Amino acid sequence: MSHAGFLTVDEVAQNLKVTRQTVSKYIKSKELNAIKMNKSYRIAHNDFENFLTNNSIAGEPQIAYLKNSKNCLLDYPDKMDEFEIRYSYSKGAIKLVDKQHDLNDNKFIFGDNLLVLKNLLDTHSGRIDLIYIDPPFATGREFSSMNEDSAYSDKLIDSEFLEFIRKRLILLKDLLSEKGSIYLHIDKKIGHYVKIIMDEIFGYNNFINDITRIKCNPKNFSRNAYGNYSDMVLFYAKNRDKNIWNEITEPMDKEKRETLFTKKHPKFGYYTTNPIHAPGKTIDGDTGKEWKGSLPPKGRHWRYSREVLTQLDEAGLIEWSNTGNPRKIVLASEHKGFKVQDVWEFKDKGLSYVDYPTQKNFDFLERIIRNSSNTDSIVLDCFAGSGSTLKVAEKLNRKWIGVDNSTHSYNVVKETLKQSKIKCNFYEYTSLT
């Protein structure tokens, strides 16, 4: 971690997309001004900015984006440089206002999440395993609770909204651990632009899924268009194939059970049967020899050794047809569930049934948290809203951090966690300038 107002050689190398040795050459040739602190060099922000200007490498971030995002990027007015977003000086403090436990995490921070995230980098850089965010959808509207209290503002639209999200995503990437993942929940009207931004920041190769979430029942609008009853969740890893993935399956419902397991055994319950032979002939092996007076069909072999087949038969798990054809009994009770696909049906409840306008289905959040974090993981939601992410993370024995700048959110989270007997330390971000 750099001293306030200074960068390390590694941080300069990362921003320039060069090696430490190259940065050292710049320092030795005095092209880049540096001072020695505790046996290592530090570069002042102003000196680094002068170096960028003098060496005319302002185009390099664009080159980096092109490498990350399959040769396309979004260009719009007032798109800030990543360096400035990461290192622009912002003086503030996170003050404890309500202590309920002695843990370092399991906390809610009231304040602008951009400023809060910058503070969190001092303590949580590279430590967050899972981020779920449900930011405003660029609708240009104000949202209120059932009591007409202002819940949150969604007035930012177009490029202003994209830059709002981009600034936070850059900091969120720095907070993610090497095995971390981020799920960003967004409306389809703006979501495809957000995906390009995420490709720029996280890298196209770290994109994992665009999940369609069915959010409501089909609609019959009078306009000349198809009904809109879904939104999207963009799922990225910090490092693809290193991210936590627990392969939580979807349980079999009654409809699927009735389709796949049509028979009922008096002892074992619902079942189906599978052949006990497979393609391919075994010449000398055990699976090509006679079992119970039969050889496997021509050009095939037994799926199991004859010893295992005998054990299955003695356990009552071989079904014999009237013609003497054996098949293995497969029990519905032993089914391990289905791989989850990229269309999820988790419908929103009506406003009269929730405490917050954008409150999400608990089962929806549970699927994300179970699949992409472990019990020792920290889960972060910096658009905490109703606090549903925090509540589900607690249920699943994860550590958690929530951030929001809405007074309504603060009050709802406090009451919700209190009712659920969940201890939380509450903080407030305050500016020192």
d(CA 132, CA 400): 11
Give the DSSP H or E segment for 79. Answer: none
Predicted local confidence at residue 352, as pLDDT = 47
pLDDT value at position 144? Answer: 43
**374/245 Cα distance (integer angstroms):** 9
CB 236 within 8 A of CB 198: yes
Backbone angles phi, psi at 33, to 5 degrees: -75, 135
Would you give per-residue pLDDT tens digits along the chain (433 residues)?
445 678 888 888 888 877 777 788 888 888 899 888 776 788 888 888 888 877 754 445 555 666 678 878 888 888 888 878 887 766 689 999 999 999 999 999 999 999 999 999 999 999 999 999 999 865 444 434 445 454 444 455 688 999 999 999 999 999 999 999 999 999 998 999 999 999 999 999 999 999 999 998 887 777 888 888 899 999 999 999 999 999 999 999 999 999 999 999 999 999 999 999 999 988 788 999 999 999 999 999 999 999 999 999 999 999 999 988 999 999 999 999 999 999 999 988 755 445 555 567 899 999 999 999 999 999 999 999 999 999 999 999 999 999 999 999 999 999 999 999 999 999 999 987 6
Which residue segments constitute the domains of the chain, with CATH numbers given?
6-58 (1.10.1660), 87-211+233-245+357-431 (3.40.50.150), 254-334 (no CATH)
Closest C-alpha among 354, 421, 338 to residue 388: 354
Query: How many residues are given for the chain?
Result: 433
Cα gap 345→347, rounded to integer Å: 6
Q: Using CA atoms, how far apart are residues 301 and 290, in angstroms rounded to an integer?
A: 10
Q: What is the model's pLDDT at position 53?
A: 76
Task: Tell me what pLDDT residue 57 has.
Answer: 46
Count Cβ atoms within 10 A of the Cβ of residue 166 and give its class: 0-12 exposed, 13-18 middle, 19 or more buried: buried
On whether the CB atoms of residues 249 and 375 are closer than 8 A, the answer is no
Interacting residues of 398 by C-beta distance below 8 A, sequence separation 6+: 130, 369, 373, 374, 375, 377, 378, 379
Which amino acid is it at 233? Answer: V
- Strands (E) across 15-155 are located at 35-37, 40-44, 92-98, 107-110, 128-133, 141-144, 150-154
CB 317 within 8 A of CB 273: no
Q: What pLDDT, on a 0 to 100 scale, did the predictor assign at position 152? A: 41
* Whether the Cβ atoms of residue 394 and residue 400 lie closer than 8 Å to each other: yes
